[in-house]
A and B are shown apart, each in its own frame.
Chain A
Amino acid sequence: AQSVTQLGSHVSVSEGALVLLRCNYSSSVPPYLFWYVQYPNQGLQLLLKYTSAATLVKGINGFEAEFKKSETSFHLTKPSAHMSDAAEYFCAVRDSSYKLIFGSGTRLLVRP
């Protein structure tokens, strides 16, 4: 069965610092992996996705993620945090029935 684990329910960084949000996956098929962002009182927006092409995936708002098969990881990074990045972030993996399985989420706090 497919699953994702997001390490850290809350991450706090200073404005301008590196953002690193961790996601590890388990999949019995070649994985399709996704990162979504949820701003307060809004739905989820797709940040980026990995679909077996390039292992380094660039998304919107300066975020990127690297697929590492050997580590079963798909961590999300951004070189310099901005106040507007404060949100909740969800990692997801496509399951064998083609549905998305979501992690429990990581809330990013950006300190001025």
Chain B
Amino acid sequence: NAGVTQTPKFQVLKTGQSMTLQCAQDMNHNSMYWYRQDPGMGLRLIYYSASEGTTDKGEVPNGYNVSRLNKREFSLRLESAAPSQTSVYFCASSELAGLGYGYTFGSGTRLTVV
């Protein structure tokens, strides 16, 4: 099925460990996004990539890095995980930034940092 695929679905890390969350879309979308979802706070944008070869910070970028590997893939890296990064992470893509297109979301990665 076409869509946005995130791996892994679940992860437990110890404080200070690093990991990379993977995201791939097969809809030929130009723009990709990483959000985190925390109870009562909705979704907050971490980083986004308006097009292949570009990345920009969102609302809550501290502690994260991203790589737009190609048009399909957009990864999120935690270099030194902290308990405050316990959250559900969603990747999303859209056809064109700037137009009235909605996002297509992946099913999420539930991350726990202990």
Chain B residue total in the interface (Cβ 8 A): 25
- Measured CA separation A45–B44 after assembly (Å): 17
Q: Does A46 contact B (CB under 8 A)?
A: yes
Interface size counted on chain A using CB atoms at 8 A: 23
Bitwise, A80-112 to B at CB < 8 A (1) or not (0) is 000000000010001000111111110000000
Assembled-state Cα–Cα distance A26/B90 (Å): 25
| B98 nearest CB across to chain A (Å) | 4
- Interface segment, one of B14-22, B66-74, B79-87, B99-107: B99-107
A51 surroundings in chain B (CB, below 8 A): 100
Q: B residues near A, CB below 8 A? A: 4, 33, 35, 40-45, 48, 50, 58, 90, 92, 97-100, 102-108
Q: List 8 A-B contacts (CB under 8 A).
A: A36-B102, A43-B105, A45-B105, A46-B102, A51-B100, A101-B45, A102-B43, A102-B44
